[in-house]
């Protein structure tokens, strides 16, 4: 731990005596100048770890400070204004295309090199791990914490340490697992040097910490604390890392047969262990058995205008969900998972989420059509689009030639009360499954833009976007 030595304490004590003497001798002369001589905020800035763990408020501030080091994983693309994605995902995939280079797609442009990986959360994550270690070693000293608060704070610290390791392992594979005892800052560097652990050892550590978190954390949070982890979140992440460990990528992958540590141990196990699948399944079952989470659904919409829930195809049962879809609206049940219609704590499908929005406007600008302030440069591949089925469940590959045609349907349609389909849409974009309409911006699709600031005067309400060169979605000057 970091502590002031005796000399500093004596100097600090003498300094306080001097300040007190000056204040007392100046009261009659300066009158209203006490605030000018107030040094409490400067003393507070030099707060020692000992004093942090004697105050409930400061302990929670310290825990929140550790949590602030977590990466913002909502930044899938990044932007040229300095907002960088935190994982090579999102645009770092074969399902999406962007015609220019951003932090989120440099891996596809072969711009990630040994000397410039573009992703370097390593130091930040280990800072977070160190803070979590300090919390766990010192929190029992706090006399202001109730037993329930002590459990929660310890649970949050275990969760943070596990998640920082989880994040590192997801990005780098096997990493360095540090001793749980935090190092003094002046400790010999050589004694603080460690080789990375094997992948299975990393998974074991992460699972152990998430398990401890699950024992200590509450299963529910009040509305204003929804962003804090819960028992379900800890178990869900434990199950996910167990699922990764069971994958053929890390479970008997001979590609890594020559990757060994200084003791000759394989970093990636060369022997397949099918029991790993069972371990993951057992943890997932624990989450299910909490009876807290469920598939998100929105009730069927009935009206006489023909704009309610679309009739179910013959291939889908009319029984109530989950045996069928007779009592739900399939389109809104999927769309409202991510469109902001509901507060997150209402959606039972969410286990752990961030309350923060996307920083900057990089992600939004890439998606929006030109008229809505974007550049419509984020594209989904045709192979990906064609994975969405027809409304009756047939694969798109089994659609008729007319159903695959680019010719316009010629008739407008409305369903789920407010989703509009332009008559200019092609047959290939007609009669598709609900997830298609909740996800894909196809040619001649309608953007409702009900919250756009320009209002009716700018012609942005129910704006039809034409996705072709020179079409309404494009900006010919960009």
Say how far apart CA 328 and CA 321 lie, in whole Å: 7
pLDDT digit string, tens, across residues 139-172? 999 999 999 999 999 999 999 999 999 999 998 9
Query: What is the rounded (10 degree) CA torsion for 395, 401, 403, 407?
Result: 140
Q: What is the pLDDT of residue 457?
A: 54
How many domains is the chain built from?
A: 3
pLDDT digits over 363-417, tens only? 677 888 888 878 888 888 999 999 999 999 999 999 999 999 999 999 999 999 9
Rounded Cα–Cα distance for residues 443 and 288 (Å): 40
Tens digit of each residue's pLDDT (9 = 90 or more) over 209-252:
999 999 999 999 998 898 899 999 999 999 999 999 999 999 99
395 is a domain residue? yes
Q: What share of the chain is helix, strand, coil (3-state, %, to 5)?
A: 40, 5, 55
Q: Is 292 exposed, middle or buried (0-12, 13-18, 19+ CB in 10 A)?
A: middle
Average of pLDDT values for 197-214? 98
Neighbours of 151 (CB within 10 A): 15
Could you tell me if residue 108 is inside a domain?
Answer: no
pLDDT number for residue 369: 86
Q: What's the whole-number mean pLDDT along residues 24-38?
A: 41
The pLDDT, as a whole number, for residue 43 is 44
> Same domain, yes or no, for 273 and 129?
yes
- On whether both 26 and 148 belong to a single domain, the answer is no
Range of the domain at 24: 6-46
Place of tokens 């974009």: 429
User: Is a pLDDT exceeding 70 seen at residue 349?
Assistant: yes
Kindly state whether residues 36 and 144 are assigned to the same domain: no
The reply to whether 324 falls in a domain is: no
Tokens in use for 362? 């990089």
The pLDDT value given to residue 4? 39
Query: Which range has the worst mean pLDDT, 4-13, 130-139, 274-283, 460-469?
Result: 4-13
Name the least confident of 105-114, 347-356, 375-384.
Answer: 105-114
Q: Are residues 366 and 278 in the same domain?
A: no
Query: Is the pLDDT reported for residue 266 higher than 60?
Result: yes
Six-digit token string for 34: 């006490």
From residue 73, give the alpha-carbon distance in Å to each of 103, 115, 209, 333: 13, 24, 21, 24
Task: Show which of 288, 321, 343 is a domain's final residue.
Answer: 288
Average pLDDT of span 166-193: 82
- Pair of tokens at residue 351: 């286990």
In a domain, 337, yes or no: no
Q: What is the mean pLDDT of residues 302-330?
A: 94
92 in a domain, yes or no?
A: no
Residue 60, Cβ density class (10 Å: 0-12 exposed, 13-18 middle, ≥19 buried): middle
- In the listed set 254, 288, 322, which residue is the last one of a domain according to the structure? 288
């Amino acid at each position: 731990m970091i502590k002031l030595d005796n000399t500093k304490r004596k100097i600090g004590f003498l300094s306080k005596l001097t300040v007190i003497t000056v204040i007392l001798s100046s009261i009659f002369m300066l009158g209203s100048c006490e605030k000018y001589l107030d040094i409490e905020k400067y003393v507070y800035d030099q707060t020692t770890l000992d004093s942090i763990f004697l105050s409930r408020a400061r302990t929670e501030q310290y825990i929140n400070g550790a949590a602030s080091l977590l990466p913002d994983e909502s930044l899938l693309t990044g932007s040229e204004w300095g907002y960088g994605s935190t994982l090579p995902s999102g645009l770092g995939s074969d399902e999406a295309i962007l015609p220019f280079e951003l932090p989120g797609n440099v891996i596809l442009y072969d711009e990630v090199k040994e000397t410039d990986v573009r992703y370097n959360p390593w130091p930040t994550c280990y800072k977070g791990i160190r803070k979590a270690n300090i919390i766990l070693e010192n929190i029992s000293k706090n006399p202001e914490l109730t037993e329930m608060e002590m459990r929660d704070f310890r649970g949050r610290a275990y969760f943070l340490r596990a998640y920082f390791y989880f994040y590192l392992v997801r990005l780098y594979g096997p990493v360095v697992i540090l001793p749980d005892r935090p190092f003094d800052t002046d400790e010999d560097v050589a004694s603080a040097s460690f080789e990375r652990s094997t992948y299975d050892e990393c998974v074991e550590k992460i699972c152990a910490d998430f398990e401890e978190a699950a024992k200590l954390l509450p299963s529910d949070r009040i509305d204003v604390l929804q962003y804090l982890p819960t028992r379900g979140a800890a178990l869900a992440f434990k199950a996910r890392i167990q699922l990764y460990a069971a994958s053929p990528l890390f479970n008997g992958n001979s590609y890594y047969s020559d990757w060994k540590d200084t003791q000759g141990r394989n970093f990636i196990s060369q022997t397949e262990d099918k029991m790993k699948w069972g371990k993951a399944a057992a943890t997932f079952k624990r989450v299910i058995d909490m009876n807290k989470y469920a598939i998100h659904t929105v009730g069927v919409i009935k009206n006489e205008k023909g704009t309610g829930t679309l009739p179910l195809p013959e291939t889908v049962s009319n029984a109530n969900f989950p045996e069928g879809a007779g009592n739900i609206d399939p389109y809104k049940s999927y769309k409202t998972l991510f469109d902001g219609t509901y507060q997150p704590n209402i959606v039972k499908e969410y286990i752990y989420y961030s309350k923060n929005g996307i920083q900057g406007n990089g992600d939004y600008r890439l998606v929006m059509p030109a008229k809505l302030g974007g550049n419509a440069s984020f594209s989904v591949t045709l192979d990906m689009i064609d994975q969405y089925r027809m409304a009756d469940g047939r694969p798109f590959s089994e659609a008729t030639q007319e159903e695959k045609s680019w010719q316009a349907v010629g008739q407008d349609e409305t369903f789920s009360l407010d989703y509009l389909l332009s008559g200019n849409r092609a047959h290939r974009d007609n009669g598709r499954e609900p997830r298609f309409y909740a996800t894909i911006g196809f040619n001649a699709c309608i953007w409702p833009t009900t919250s756009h600031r320009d209002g009716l005067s700018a012609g942005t309400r129910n704006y039809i976007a034409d996705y072709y060169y020179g079409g309404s979605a494009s900006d010919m000057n960009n």
